[in-house]
Amino acid sequence: MNIAVLVKQVPDTTEIKIDKETGALIRKGIPTITNPDDLTGVELALQLKETYGGNIHAFTMGPSSAKNMLRELYARGIDEATLLSDKAFAGSDTWATSHILASALKKHAFDLVIAGRQAIDGDTAQVGPQVAEFLKIPHVSYVDRVIDYNDGMLKVKKNEEHRMLTLNLPTPALITVLDEAAKPRYMNMFDIFRRSHLPLNQLTCDDLDVSLADIGIKGSPTKVKKTFNKSATQKQPKQTLNPEQAARTILDFIEAKGGQS
């Protein structure tokens, strides 16, 4: 089973700070991580490889600093890693990003493409399905578990709001995975030393069959008009009260609002 895994390097969101004056992100000194859902995808790929054999190839689009993330994925056990990096890619929205990723994936034959459900910086959950469409292969989003893989047929559980679906999906196919799908393993020191220096593939715009009109800011159907911090609503006075007073204040407040109790 040959597997492609789509990964993204993201800022560690809990540490994101906003410049209160400008509303801009302070990126300086912000640590980056592999997007958590993508790490789930990598782990799932490793488990599938252990069961069914094959090869795992990770793809990411991003700045050259994303190489560090790919080295970490080597240490985790993937077989090959490709960084798609070019100034012309900068500012790509999900449509353009998917177009670029799909162009790189088309150079290979994969049975399965795994993407994380969504990235913690953009939260769109769009790139996986869009890549599937560009590759003209079926996809299932929100996969909770891969049950098995037989004769080219993948059986998965999909987690919807009120129900779980068991679906059969012929490969080649793409799935986007929830964090329930696999629990990333710990890396061991031996693999970190032995594997993180494996060579990385690097592709630029010239290596791919993409037109400049379809990538970057220019090729992105969506444009960011403005970004801002949601200004917190006006601060209400806070009261420090002992529990008894607090409970009474709350009940009085509820009653004044219309007597919910």
- Interface with other proteins in residues 190-249 (CB under 8 A): 220-230, 232-233, 235-244, 246-249
Measured CA to CA in angstroms, residue 92 lies from 61, 103, 149, 223, 253 at distances of 10, 14, 34, 9, 49
User: Quick one: 96 or 205, whose CB is closer to other proteins?
Assistant: 96
**Distance from C-alpha of 114 to C-alpha of 4, rounded to nearest angstrom:** 6
User: Quick one: 21 or 206, whose CB is closer to other proteins?
Assistant: 21
Measured CA to CA in angstroms, residue 61 lies from 39, 191, 237, 253 at distances of 15, 24, 47, 52
Token reading at 11 = 């800022």
Which range touches other proteins (CB under 8 A), out of 55-63, 91-99, 181-189, 190-198? 91-99
Four-CA torsion 92, 98, 101, 104, nearest 10 degrees: -110
User: Quick one: 125 or 192, whose CB is closer to other proteins?
Assistant: 125
By CB under 8 A, the residues from 108 to 137 that bind other proteins are: 120-130, 132-134
Residues 6+ away with beta carbon under 8 Å from 133? 98, 139
User: Quick one: 193 or 247, whose CB is closer to other proteins?
Assistant: 247
**The pairing of beta strand 139-150 with beta strand 153-159:** antiparallel
By CB under 8 A, the residues from 14 to 43 that bind other proteins are: 14, 16, 18, 23, 25
By CB under 8 A, the residues from 138 to 197 that bind other proteins are: 138-142, 155, 158-170, 173
Is residue 65 involved in binding other proteins (CB under 8 A)?
no
Write down the residue that tokens 């061991």 correspond to.
188
**Distance from C-alpha of 113 to C-alpha of 184, rounded to nearest angstrom:** 18
What is the closest distance, in whole angstroms, from the C-beta atom of residue 113 to other proteins in the complex? 14
H/E element holding 192? helix 189-195
What is the closest distance, in whole angstroms, from the C-beta atom of residue 105 to other proteins in the complex? 14
Which range touches other proteins (CB under 8 A), out of 1-9, 66-74, 87-95, 195-203? 87-95
What is the closest distance, in whole angstroms, from the C-beta atom of residue 109 to other proteins in the complex? 17
What is the closest distance, in whole angstroms, from the C-beta atom of residue 79 to other proteins in the complex? 27
Which range touches other proteins (CB under 8 A), out of 71-79, 108-116, 190-198, 250-258? 250-258
